[in-house]
Amino acid sequence: MTIENTRILLAARPKGEPVAEDFRIERAPLPAPGKGQVLLRNRWLSLDPYMRGRMNAGRSYVAPIEVGAVMEGGTVSEVVESLHPALVPGDLVLAEGGWQTHAVADGDGLRRKLDPDDLPLTTALGVYGMPGFTAYAGLREIGRPAAGETVVVAAASGPVGASVGQIAKLHGARVVGIAGGSRKVAHLRDDLGFDVALDHRADDFAAQLKAAVPDGIDVYFENVGGHVLDAVMPLLNEFARVPVCGLIAHYNDSAPPPGPDRLPQLMALALARRLTIRGFIVFDFNKLYPEFLREMGAWLREGRIRYSEDIVEGLENAPQGLIGLLRGENFGKRLVRIA
Amino acid sequence: MTIENTRILLAARPKGEPVAEDFRIERAPLPAPGKGQVLLRNRWLSLDPYMRGRMNAGRSYVAPIEVGAVMEGGTVSEVVESLHPALVPGDLVLAEGGWQTHAVADGDGLRRKLDPDDLPLTTALGVYGMPGFTAYAGLREIGRPAAGETVVVAAASGPVGASVGQIAKLHGARVVGIAGGSRKVAHLRDDLGFDVALDHRADDFAAQLKAAVPDGIDVYFENVGGHVLDAVMPLLNEFARVPVCGLIAHYNDSAPPPGPDRLPQLMALALARRLTIRGFIVFDFNKLYPEFLREMGAWLREGRIRYSEDIVEGLENAPQGLIGLLRGENFGKRLVRIA
């Protein structure tokens, strides 16, 4: 039996919400590593909201995925063949292996080796990987919550939001988490230690949020947009910070929403309240990565930061996994176990 | 003959653009200074766009002017009576004297004494005062233009914009100024040394701006909003900084403009380009004031920063002066000479 590479391609650029037909699964010969490279077997694939943006044409912070190309994504992978001096078969690594069973990668380009006896491997794609680092760096470089300040984060049961809330708590802030549905809300409150947890689907959500922040909002960690931002805006304090790392509510938008045009209102608010609104991509802060690994690693080993995972079984189910993620169906970090 | 105080009150809150009836002039007895206070005769009154915001009800960064209260504003004033140990009649001071011929002020609360043998007194209300300091602090703390970067500023013939452009040039930046009308545009180019000057009233303004910034925009000093911001947005580079100190295009708005709603688009741009959008009020940066006085004073004495002034004669013409300022009628810093 010949081992083949099973891979999922971008078949078409989605219009609005992606559908199954925007993806295509195929088999291809195993790629062969060149000098300095390794052949990887991908064990776990990360599913993340940013992937939706990469499926669009047009300029963003990185080039889009081409139609007909393999979907990109972070993986926990095992080295099966190595032409790199520091890696041997059996090594486990954090890679950009993509939506496929196998990949070739430059050994020097791999983010890090993973120790199977330390934290669970899957955390390298969640709380102890890109999403956790997004929370860590965004809070540290932009949000900068002081003890006693109020931090609000949405998508708070996801891996970024859950990390934001728990790190902010470790800094002594008061944390309000927002999520969709009573199960997620209970998780924030009962398992993750958020001071207040709110369901953004509630009819009186804006009033609930106002009541939950009697001293206003000092940091709004923006990863959602939409009606959560609408409710947050009037509650922002003078000198509030708004790190912007995602806008999942808008990723499927095919046109701007109807008016009125609130852009001038946002600018006026930025002026009157002296807001700092700052977008960032986690790799802007790569210099903090070693510190993140050290500090977050300690918090995880001590049980001071908790996390939940949502496993999709089988590479062939990755498209539905991403579609569902964009609808908020996941409970915690969504990963694909590649069979 | 008894000397009286002539003063202009806010008679009504404007709806949209202010009209003459929103102001009322009256005479009142001269106020008497108490212990530690001085009686001032106001010589020059500053007219500034922020005054429009103060005429509205509702929360902004300072309390609104009450209906029936004297209009507030910065003044160059002469001490005529002093119950303060460090001030004597004849001293010239920078004060918040308001729209009136006389005022009582706490001697300790005066911003600074003015030397009539140094720079012209009127500069204390313009390039060497609040507007110039706004430019200085906003560039230094938020804009931070590096040599070779491109800085764009609108209302560029006004005292903030003209200072922004010239200070940015002193930092080695390439500067594009935007103003309304050919006379202002020529002034930017011929007198103030802007690299490019554009008329925002041109039909093809957005195309002209695009052509003027082949390397994109690194700093957009926002004091206008409106269609200038619209043209700027797509041209902002990654990691561009947008200090927001004013939005004169919107001060007379009574409702948000029609849709589509571009707020999500701005947030998406902030994310993709990693923009920093930060509102500020000049007094947030008071710790820089001594440095501003030293550095800007030197630039002015050496002729490295130039300025123009637009004089309104007589306190009774202050309302029309402000109404015209909000329409962009002024050419340079608008001041009222109080007869």
pLDDT at position B62 is 75
Domain B131-283 fold is Rossmann fold (3.40.50)
Angle at B260 between CA B255 and CA B262, to 5 degrees: 85
Chain B residues whose CB is inside 8 A of the A278 CB are: 270, 274-278
What is the rounded distance in angstroms from the CA atom of residue B218 to the CA atom of residue B169?
14
Question: A303 is written with which tokens?
Answer: 């049980």
**Contact state of B258 with A260 under an 8 Å Cβ cutoff:** yes
Residue B184 vs residues B50, B187, B191, B265, B307: alpha-carbon distances, Å: 21, 5, 10, 32, 12
Indicate the class that CATH gives domain A130-283.
alpha beta
pLDDT above 70 covers a percentage of chain A that reads: 99
Residue A231 has pLDDT above 80, yes or no: yes
**Rounded to a whole number, what is the distance in Å from the CA of A303 to chain B's nearest CA?**
32
CATH number 3.90.180.10 given to A4-126+307-337: yes
Question: A71 is written with which tokens?
Answer: 């979907």
CATH code 3.90.180.10 region(s) in chain A: 4-126+307-337
Of residues A127, A100, A26, the one with CA closest to residue A334: A127
Average pLDDT for residues B220-235, to the nearest whole number?
Answer: 94
Average pLDDT for residues A217-243, to the nearest whole number?
Answer: 95
Average pLDDT for residues A244-254, to the nearest whole number?
Answer: 82
Average pLDDT for residues B128-143, to the nearest whole number?
Answer: 97
What is the rounded distance in angstroms from the CA atom of residue A157 to the CA atom of residue A333?
8
Cβ contact A318:A7 at 8 Å: no
Whether the link from the prior residue into A290 is cis, omega within 30° of 0, is no
List the end-to-end C-alpha distance of chain B, in Å, as a whole number: 17
Chain A residues whose CB is inside 8 A of the B252 CB are: none
Cβ contact A47:A312 at 8 Å: yes
Of residues A2, A67, A5, the one with CA closest to residue A40: A5
Average pLDDT for residues A126-144, to the nearest whole number?
Answer: 97
Of residues B265, B260, B140, B229, the one with CA closest to residue A244: B265
Average pLDDT for residues A16-37, to the nearest whole number?
Answer: 96
Residue B186 has pLDDT above 90, yes or no: yes
**Contact state of A61 with B273 under an 8 Å Cβ cutoff:** yes
Give the ipTM: 0.91
Residue A129 has pLDDT above 80, yes or no: yes
B254: closest chain A residue by CA: A265
CATH code 3.40.50.720 region(s) in chain A: 130-283
pLDDT at position A71 is 98
Chain A residues whose CB is inside 8 A of the B267 CB are: 222, 225, 229, 244, 247, 250, 277, 279
pLDDT band, very low/low/confident/very high, at A253 (cuts 50, 70, 90) = confident
Report the DSSP pairing between strands B150-153 and B174-179.
Answer: parallel
Chain B residues whose CB is inside 8 A of the A276 CB are: 276-278
Residue A159 φ/ψ region, left for φ over 0, alpha for ψ in the -120 to 50 degree band, beta for the rest: alpha
CATH code 3.90.180.10 region(s) in chain B: 4-126+308-337
A283: closest chain B residue by CA: B274
pLDDT band, very low/low/confident/very high, at B59 (cuts 50, 70, 90) = low
CATH code 3.40.50.720 region(s) in chain B: 131-283
CATH number given to B4-126+308-337:
3.90.180.10
3 state DSSP class of A334: strand
User: Where does A171-288 have alpha helices with state H?
Assistant: 182-190, 205-212, 226-232, 263-272
Chain A positions touching chain B (beta carbons under 8 Å): 59-61, 222, 225-226, 229, 238, 244-247, 250, 253, 255-281, 284
Whether the link from the prior residue into A116 is cis, omega within 30° of 0, is no
Residue B1 has pLDDT above 60, yes or no: no
**Mean pLDDT estimate for chain B:** 95
Average pLDDT for residues B124-143, to the nearest whole number?
Answer: 97
A54: closest chain B residue by CA: B272
Chain B residues whose CB is inside 8 A of the A253 CB are: 264
**Rounded to a whole number, what is the distance in Å from the CA of B275 to chain A's nearest CA?**
6
Give pLDDT tens digits for A262-296.
Answer: 999 999 999 999 999 999 999 999 999 999 999 99
pLDDT at position A60 is 67
**Contact state of A250 with B264 under an 8 Å Cβ cutoff:** yes
Residue B60 has pLDDT above 80, yes or no: no
Chain A residues whose CB is inside 8 A of the B62 CB are: none
Residue A255 has pLDDT above 90, yes or no: no
Average pLDDT for residues A107-134, to the nearest whole number?
Answer: 96
